[in-house]
């Protein structure tokens, strides 16, 4: 029986597969999918993918061959892309689609796959090791029993990776299971036999025997350092004599302390410099063998390198470095008792130039006695030169401020610690400085102690508590110097040891004290302290500006807020005031800055102190609702109150 399909006699939708199913007769790599649901087709393709990864491929390079799996080559079936192709067959309309559906003809749909190039390139060397008998050799330099020798370069074959990849892609796409011929290419090494022999001769020169490097310090350098040491000893003696003269006469704790300081000073030593000594350092043949390296580099062009490892050479040199090293002296600012500032000039130092050390060994190896000078730089520049110090244009004292505190508390140690950390700080013209960024977090590991501080309006113990006194002292010096303060926060409570309204709190990471040097000269910060005070001095040149400060009378007083402290042993009818707290109030601070040309400006700010809370100790049942520590319990009747032990 024959069927003749004329125009309109058979409607394509009548023979189309149900929605979401694969068209009849669809096959992928001999896996029938016709009539399957989309989910079933996906499952069959996933199974096909697993079998594809385990399928073996035979690779041939006559007369050898090897077998690898598709997975080792990086071949993976792309299930979703293949499924999309399969489902697209079902959506084909018109006469062709209707005829296919009616006649149930077979339709082979090619699968989509990926090739992981990373996996492919990783497996190629092991394939090459099996199939290629004559790989190319770039040449090498060996050292056996202290004698260098060369292995000459050889021409050979390697797998042509791009062509092999194309062959694998074509084979997989066609589901061809026949062997793949591995394409090989001839490789000629870029370096020649002459290149290797030349480097072998260089290696023989380096390793043929011991090499000695020597150093003799210039006589003028020794004389200069000896003179500086004599001056340092004289300064040390003068300072010790002044310390004895200033020791208190009356018998007191201060006298005992002064005596202790003099005794400690007598045990100290003057700040003298070691004199450089003549040095001879021999690198034995064994030392040279340990440091010897030979390898090929390709940038900027292929070549062999024979060299001595710099780290090994430095290790040999380490024991004699102290005899050669004399640190360069940085310029520094000296300040006398009248706040007069002078620049202590910098001077060059002596150091080994490690960048030339290996080169010095090469040059010494070429001499008849295999000796050469150590590369010592007798004029090593200091980090901070006299010229750099002079360029800062620091002329003298601009402003200073002192605050006082009780002696011998943990907070005092913290004040001294932050003072030491920032003493000598130089702020260049136009620079902005954050105290928190300069100091970093205050932790026990960094030398700070636990001490009281204000946190969220309450007194609490924290590492570094008390450093706000340094911030207040510095802020006042900046205030009187007319410098720009970018960020400053006053305390929540007023402390009588600080100037009212003109003070600063400090914590990490905030609040911070941030200021800018808006002058044309650098700013030098000096901080010194005693048992009961801290002083900050600012040296520079503010252009002759003058500063007048003014603080208004306090206004807008507020009563201290009440906070309750629960204590179960306290009688419910007997409250006790632990701290009367302090009133809150506001003040207006003003700073008039008058420039040298007579122009002036006024900066005003209102500072509001909330005051310390009034602390009342009560039985927990007396703590009001919504207050910290509220329990909601009923207060006991008088007969229920038991005698409680004393706290």
Final residue belonging to a domain, choices 237, 266, 295: 266
Taking residues 366-387, report their average pLDDT.
89
Same domain, 167 and 251: no
Residues 31 and 142 in one domain: yes
Q: Please give the pLDDT value at position 3.
A: 30
Q: pLDDT digit string (tens) for 143-154?
A: 888 899 989 999
Q: Is residue 634 part of a domain?
A: no
Mean pLDDT in residue range 460-483: 89
- At 510, is the pLDDT very low, low, confident or very high (cuts 50, 70, 90)? confident
* The predicted structure's pLDDT at residue 463: 80
| 3-state secondary structure string across 31-52 | EECCCCEHHHHHHHHHHHHHHH
The 8 Å CB, 24+ separation contacts for 643-646 are 644/568, 644/569, 645/569, 646/569
Structure tokens at 230: 């004599």
pLDDT the model gives residue 591: 95
Distance CA 275, CA 559 (A): 70
pLDDT at position 611 over 90? no
* Average pLDDT, integer, range 120-145: 90
Domain boundary among 189, 214, 236: 189
pLDDT at 391 over 50: yes
**What distance in Å separates the CA atoms of residue 373 and residue 212, rounded to the nearest whole number?**
8
> 155 with 250, same domain?
no
Same domain, 447 and 593: yes
Quick check: is 438 in a domain?
no
Is pLDDT of 106 > 60? yes
Does the pLDDT value for residue 103 go beyond 80? no
Confidence of residue 422 (pLDDT cuts 50, 70, 90): very high
What is the per-residue pLDDT for 105?
Answer: 77
Residue 424 has pLDDT above 80, yes or no: yes
How does pLDDT run across 396-420, given as a tens digit for each residue? 999 999 999 888 888 889 899 999 9
Per the prediction, the chain carries an average pLDDT of 84
What pLDDT is recorded for position 11? 35
What's the mean pLDDT in 302-323? 87
Q: Is residue 91 part of a domain?
A: yes
- 324 in a domain, yes or no? no
DSSP per-residue letters across 295-341: EEE-SSS-EEEEEE-HHHHHHHHGGGHHHH-BPPBPPEEEE-TT--E
Contact 456, 415 (CB under 8 A): no
Give the rounded percent of residues in the chain with a pLDDT score beyond 90: 40
More confident residue, 425 or 461: 425
Whether 617 maps to a domain, the answer reads: yes
Residue 407: per-residue pLDDT: 85
Number of residues assigned to the chain: 647
pLDDT at 228: 78
For residue range 68-85, what is the model confidence (pLDDT) as tens digits? 988 888 889 899 998 999
- What's the confidence (pLDDT) of residue 253? 45
Query: Is 472 in contact with 403 (CB distance < 8 Å)?
Result: yes
- Report pLDDT for 320: 84
Mean pLDDT calculated for residue range 480-505? 90
Asked if 471 and 615 sit in the same domain, the reply is yes
- Bridging pattern class, strands 303-308 and 292-297: antiparallel
| Same domain assignment for residues 8 and 157 | yes
264 vs 427, residue with greater confidence: 427
Same domain, 95 and 238: no
> Is there a domain that residue 205 lies in?
no
Question: Which tokens go with 147?
Answer: 């004698």
> Does residue 114 surpass a pLDDT of 60?
yes
Residues 454 and 525 in one domain: yes
Question: How many structural domains comprise the chain?
Answer: 3
Are 149 and 235 contained in the same domain?
no
Half-sphere exposure of 559 (CA within 13 A, CB side): 4
Once rounded to an integer, what is the mean pLDDT over residues 512-528? 94
Whether 432 maps to a domain, the answer reads no
Predicted pLDDT of residue 271: 67
Residue 279 included in any domain: no
The answer on 254 and 150 residing in a single domain is no
Residue 210 has pLDDT above 90, yes or no: yes
Which pTM was predicted?
Answer: 0.55
pLDDT digits 0-9 by tens, 236-272: 777 666 555 544 444 444 444 444 444 444 455 676 7
Q: Looking at residue 400, what is its pLDDT? A: 95
The domain boundary, picked from 266, 298, 319, lies at 266
257 plus 139 within the same structural domain: no
Please report the pLDDT score of residue 5 as a whole number. Answer: 30
Categorize the per-residue pLDDT at 234 as very low, low, confident or very high, splitting at 50, 70 and 90: confident
- Domain range for 261 is 226-266
Do 134 and 71 fall within a single domain? yes
> How far, in Å, CA of 114 to CA of 122, rounded?
16
Bridge partners for 524 per DSSP? 426, 539
pLDDT at 258: 46
């Amino acid at each position: 029986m024959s069927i003749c399909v004329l125009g309109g006699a058979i409607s394509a939708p009548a023979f189309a597969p149900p929605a979401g199913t694969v068209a009849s007769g669809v096959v992928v790599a001999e896996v029938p999918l016709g009539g399957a649901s989309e989910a079933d087709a996906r499952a069959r393709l996933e199974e096909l993918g697993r079998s594809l990864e385990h399928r073996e491929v035979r690779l041939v390079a006559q007369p050898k061959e090897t077998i690898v799996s598709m997975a080792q080559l990086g071949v993976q079936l792309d299930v979703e892309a293949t499924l999309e192709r399969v489902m697209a067959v079902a959506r084909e309309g018109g006469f062709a689609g209707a005829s296919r559906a009616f006649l149930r003809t077979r339709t082979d749909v090619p699968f989509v796959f990926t090739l992981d190039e990373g996996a492919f390139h990783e497996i190629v060397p092991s394939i090459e090791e099996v199939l290629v008998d004559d790989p190319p050799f770039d040449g090498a330099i060996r050292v056996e029993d202290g004698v260098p020798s060369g292995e000459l370069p050889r021409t050979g074959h390697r797998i042509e990776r791009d062509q092999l990849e194309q062959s694998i892609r074509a084979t997989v796409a066609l589901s061809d299971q026949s062997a793949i011929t591995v394409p090989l290419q001839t490789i000629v090494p870029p370096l020649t036999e002459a290149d290797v022999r030349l480097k072998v001769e260089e290696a023989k020169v380096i390793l043929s025997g011991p090499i000695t490097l020597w150093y003799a310090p210039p006589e003028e350098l020794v004389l200069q350092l000896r003179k500086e040491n004599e001056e340092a000893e004289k300064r040390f003696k003068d300072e010790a004599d002044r310390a004895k003269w200033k020791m208190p006469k009356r018998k007191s704790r201060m006298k005992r302390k002064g005596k202790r300081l003099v005794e400690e000073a007598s045990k100290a030593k003057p700040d003298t410099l070691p004199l450089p000594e003549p040095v001879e350092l021999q690198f034995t043949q064994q030392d040279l063998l340990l440091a010897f390296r030979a390898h090929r580099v390709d940038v900027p062009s292929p070549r062999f390198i024979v060299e001595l490892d710099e780290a090994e050479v430095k290790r040999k040199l380490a024991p004699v470095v102290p005899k050669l090293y004399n640190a360069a002296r940085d310029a520094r600012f000296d300040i006398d008792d009248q706040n007069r500032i002078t620049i202590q000039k910098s001077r060059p130092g002596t150091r080994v130039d490690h960048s030339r050390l290996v080169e010095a060994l090469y040059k010494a190896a070429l001499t008849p006695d295999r000796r050469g000078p150590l590369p010592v730089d007798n004029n090593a520049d200091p980090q901070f030169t006299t010229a750099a110090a002079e360029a800062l244009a620091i002329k003298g004292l601009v402003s200073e401020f002192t605050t006082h505190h009780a002696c011998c508390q943990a907070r005092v140690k913290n004040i001294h610690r932050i003072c030491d950390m920032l003493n000598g700080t130089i702020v260049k013209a136009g620079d902005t400085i954050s105290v928190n960024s300069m100091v970093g977090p205050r932790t026990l590991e960094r030398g700070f102690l636990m001490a009281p501080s204000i946190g969220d309006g309450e007194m609490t113990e924290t590492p570094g508590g008390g450093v706000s006194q340094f911030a207040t002292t510095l802020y006042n010096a900046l205030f009187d110097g007319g410098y720009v303060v970018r960020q400053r926060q006053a305390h929540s409570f007023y402390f009588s040891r600080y100037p009212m309204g003109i003070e600063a709190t400090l914590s990490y990471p905030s609040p911070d004290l941030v200021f800018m040097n808006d002058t044309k000269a650098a700013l030098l910060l000096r901080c010194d302290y005693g048992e009961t005070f801290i002083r900050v001095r600012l040296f520079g040149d503010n252009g002759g500006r003058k500063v007048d400060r003014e603080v208004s009378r306090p206004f807008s007083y507020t009563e201290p807020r009440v906070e309750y402290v629960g204590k179960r042993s306290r009688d419910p009818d007997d409250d006790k005031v632990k701290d009367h707290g302090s009133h809150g109030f506001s003040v207006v601070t003003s700073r008039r800055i008058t420039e040298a040309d007579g122009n002036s400006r006024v900066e005003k700010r209102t500072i509001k102190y909330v005051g310390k809370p009034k602390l009342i100790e009560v039985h927990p049942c007396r703590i009001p609702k919504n207050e910290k520590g509220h329990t909601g319990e009923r207060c006991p009747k008088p007969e229920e109150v038991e005698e409680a032990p004393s706290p």
